[in-house]
Amino acid sequence: MTDKLSKSISYKALQTVGFTMYSLLLIPLLIRYWDVATYGSWIAIYALFNILQVIEFGHNTYIGNTFNSLVNTNKAKAREILGSAFKVNILTGTIQMIFIWVIYKLGAFGFFIKSDLPESDIAVILSLLLLYRLLIGSYRGLLIKILNPFGYIYKSYQISLVERFIEFVILTSAAFSGISLIDLALLWFIIKSMYSIGILIYIKKLLPEYFPWWRYGSFKTGLKNLWQSVAYMISTFMNRIVSDGVLLIVSPLMGTEFLPVFVATRSIVNFSVKVGDIFLSPLGPELINHHANRFYDKLMRIVSYYWSITGTILVFGFAFSIFLIEPVFEIWTGGKLRFRPVLFYGLVVAAVLRNYGAILYVFLMGINKSKIVLITTFLRSATLVLGIYLLYPFGFKGLVISFIASEVITSIIYLPASYIKEMNYKVVNSQSFWINPMVASALGLFFYLVVIETAPIWLVVVFIGILLLLYLQFRSIEKTTRAKLSSLWQRIKNVS
């Protein structure tokens, strides 16, 4: 199992790198060979496709979690859960297909996608994408969920990496050849169906004792479990609203031509904040362990440590990006997209705010505070959607204000308040909570001064203020922790 755990960690890191490179390489290639309108239409259509899959994904997540909890204690029950899911799985795909044709018959695609494409073309594209999920894709996704308890989670990372590469080849080939989006969807259906068949055969050989997967259980049990997975569907939907739903909101309000600019800018910001993910993965189990042992002081010191280290790295990196980001963006997109400073800087501030809340979110989710997690997701998505609709007359400025507002409410107000309430005692290092929004506010002021092209002296003054706040945050960490960090930094300098 140790070898499998090591492989899982390695492949998870490889997956993170691979997915990041996917976005960084795909965007400039598609922009070069597609016009902005075509690329924007594909972004919007694919976003709607992702939103519609929440029924399938929510159901699969519930089945995967239930199977994992039973397989080592009640294998017969686990087989029943899996078999019942296979029997009812066609229903989830059918419901998703029905949604498409209801939207088409109502002539409501324009509500989500502002494009020159006829609504009939959009319906055909989405039908082909969802038909792939209905016939085989969702079954493959269901089976991948059962790999975890056998120590094969690393294989799911391998499968997803290969699949992402296949998608990269499909999209770039379509762009190079100049085929229509309908032909692209057909190519997607054929190639990904063939790949999914290969994965089904592979999993059958890997876990032969569970084949045929549909042998056990009943349709009635499947329906019962489908109903019990509704909470997962709702949670998945709200998470998708923040990532994909915002594209469907922006599309009719600002036009699909704006989507490539937004997606490209968001990709750069997301790539930069991956630094937080590097720390979160190993810290998560430590937080849960300290909470179980009631080492609350140590728990808070870890949180302060995360805020100080990741906050410093992100703030320094983004602050110095003002000298390079615009020419880098122009080169990266081949001059096809115009860099929007306000959009980039606004998304950066929102990302920094979200980074502060991320560790609290991971901790509360790790100790099974599902109600808090659900409310957090709801607040974030509801604030974002409401803000965009109210502020869309202000263009992308209203968009970034909505992103920042959603993170202030969730990451700066609700999550810290929930954490303090959960601890039910006087939290040590409480100054860290008020330093976080001050650092983000100071960084926002710094960017504002850059945009209005103020005198450099004011940039220096604000940056010094940011340094002082980061120093105060560093001072909030326990002395022994600071000493270890200083020693590590000294060793790094000596090696260099």
403 or 1, which is more confident?
403
What number is the average pLDDT over the span 168-173?
Answer: 93
Could you give the CA distance from residue 473 to residue 458 in angstroms, rounded to a whole number?
23
Closest by CA to 350, choosing from 456, 246, 430, is: 246
Q: Which is more confidently placed, 215 or 46?
A: 46
What is the reported pLDDT for 127?
92
What pLDDT score was predicted for residue 495?
43
Residue 438: closest CA among 403, 402, 468, 478: 468
pLDDT in tens, 264-319: 888 888 877 776 666 676 566 667 676 667 676 777 777 878 888 888 888 888 88
CA distances to 62, 66, 85 from 224, in Å: 12, 13, 10
Which residues does 456 contact at the CB level (< 8 Å), separation at least 6? Answer: none
187 vs 280 pLDDT, higher one = 187
Instruction: Determine the pLDDT at residue 12.
Output: 67
d(CA 165, CA 170): 9
Instruction: Encode pLDDT of 455-474 as tens digits.
Output: 888 888 888 888 888 888 77
Q: Tell me the two tokens of residue 419.
A: 């954490």
More confident residue, 388 or 278: 388
The CA distance from 339 to 284, in Å, is 36
pLDDT at 211: 80
Q: Which of 140-144, 428-432, 433-437 has the lowest mean pLDDT?
A: 428-432
Q: Average pLDDT of 323-334?
A: 86
Angle 384-355-401 from CA coordinates, rounded to 5°: 30
The pLDDT score that the predictor gives to residue 374 is 82
Instruction: Please provide the average confidence, as pLDDT, over all residues in the chain.
Output: 81
| Boundaries of every domain in the chain | 2-237, 273-495
- Cβ(135)–Cβ(54) under 8 Å? no
Q: Which residue has the higher pLDDT, 495 or 239?
A: 239
pLDDT-derived band at 496, boundaries 50, 70, 90: very low
pLDDT (0 to 100) of residue 450? 85
Condensed to tens digits (0 to 9), the pLDDT of residues 190-247 reads 999 999 999 999 888 888 887 887 888 888 888 888 888 887 788 788 888 877 878 8
Q: Rounded to whole angstroms, how far apart are CA atoms 150 and 172?
A: 36
Q: Is the pTM value of this prediction over 0.85? A: no
Q: What's the 3-state SS for the chain?
A: CHHHHHHHHHHHHHHHHHHHHHHHHHHHHHHHHCCHHHHHHHHHHHHHHHHHCHHHHHHHHHHHHHHHHHCCCCHHHHHHHHHHHHHHHHHHHHHHHHHHHHHHHCCCHHHHCCCCCCHHHHHHHHHHHHHHHHHHHHHHHHHHCCCHHHCCHHHHHHHHHHHHHHHHHHHHHHHHHCCCHHHHHHHHHHHHHHHHHHHHHHHHHHCHHHCCCCCCCCHHHHHHHHHHCHHHHHHHHHHHHHHHHHHHHHHHHHCHHHHHHHHHHHHHHHHHCHHHHHHHHHHHHHHHHHHHCCCHHHHHHHHHHHHHHHHHHHHHHHHHHHHCHHHHHHHHCCCCCCCCHHHHHHHHHHHHHHHHHHHHHHHHHHCCCHHHHHHHHHHHHHHHHHHHHHHHHHCHHHHHHHHHHHHHHHHHHHHHHHHHHHHCCCCCCCHHHHHHHHHHHHHHHHHHHHHCCCCHHHHHHHHHHHHHHHHHHHHCCCHHHHHHHHHHHHHHHHHC
Is residue 186 predicted with pLDDT exceeding 80? yes
User: Cβ distance 341 to 326 under 8 Å?
Assistant: yes
Give the model's pLDDT for residue 492.
43
Sign, Cα dihedral of 390, 394, 395, 399: negative
User: At which residue do the structure tokens 């050989």 appear?
Assistant: 205
Query: Does residue 11 or residue 82 have the better pLDDT?
Result: 82
pLDDT of 485 > 60? The answer is no
Q: Which two tokens stand for residue 266?
A: 């968001």
**Which pLDDT value is given to residue 187?**
94
Percent above pLDDT 70 for the chain: 86
Q: Does 250 have pLDDT greater than 70?
A: yes
446/117 Cα distance (integer angstroms)? 42
pLDDT above 80: residue 178: yes
Q: Do the Cβ atoms of 302 and 290 come closer than 8 Å?
A: yes
More confident residue, 82 or 409: 409
Mean local confidence (pLDDT), 37-66: 86
**The predicted structure's pLDDT at residue 196:** 92
**Distance separating alpha carbons of residues 84 and 486, to the nearest angstrom:** 56
**b vs e for 305-341, b when ≥16 Cβ sit within 10 Å of the residue's Cβ?**
bbbbbbbbbbbeebbebbeebeeebeebbeebbebbe
Per-residue pLDDT at 5 exceeds 60 = no
Categorize the per-residue pLDDT at 179 as very low, low, confident or very high, splitting at 50, 70 and 90.
very high
Mean pLDDT across the stretch 421-437?
67
Across residues 76-93, what is the average pLDDT? Answer: 85
- Answer whether residue 330 shows pLDDT above 80: yes
Nearest to 420 by CA among 277, 303, 311: 303
pLDDT at 38 (0 to 100): 86
